[in-house]
Amino acid sequence: MNVKEASRPVTYHVCPHCDEEIQEKSTYGAYGGLIDVHRPCGGMIEFPEQVYDSSSPLLRAIQPHMNEARKLREEARAYISTATPFPEDFKARCRKSGYNVE
């Protein structure tokens, strides 16, 4: 029996700085993993927000931590974009959440 061929649309991410497709291993976490960086061009990137099923007890339990991480990433981008050093209270909140931003 012959194998059938099929096709389907593929969604992929494109870097806003260099317009290249973001490959699986072409990013790294800077500032202790707080900020994603596109390795080929060095530009800061932000992936689209994931939508999760809120009926899951596990996801409901970790939602406050996910919200805090989102706030920290947004604050870090603001500090970096204005070349402002991270304040000590921000660094302390990052450490508490598991990010090493020293």
Q: What is the pLDDT of residues 61-94, one digit of tens each?
A: 888 888 899 999 999 999 998 999 999 999 999 9
In a domain, 88, yes or no: yes
Q: Is there a contact between 15 and 38 (Cβ–Cβ < 8 Å)?
A: yes
As for how many domains the chain has, the answer is 1
- Identify whether 66 is part of a domain: yes
**CA separation for the pair 43, 46 (Å, rounded):** 10
Give me the amino acid identity at 5: E
4 domain-assigned: no
Count Cα atoms within 13 angstroms, Cβ side, for 21: 5
**Local structure of 69: helix, strand or coil:** helix
Please classify residue 45 by burial: count the beta carbons closer than 10 Å to its beta carbon, then call 0-12 exposed, 13-18 middle and 19+ buried. middle
- Predicted structure pTM score: 0.74
The answer to whether residue 83 is domain-embedded is yes
Residue 11 included in any domain = no
Domain ranges, residue 59: 27-96
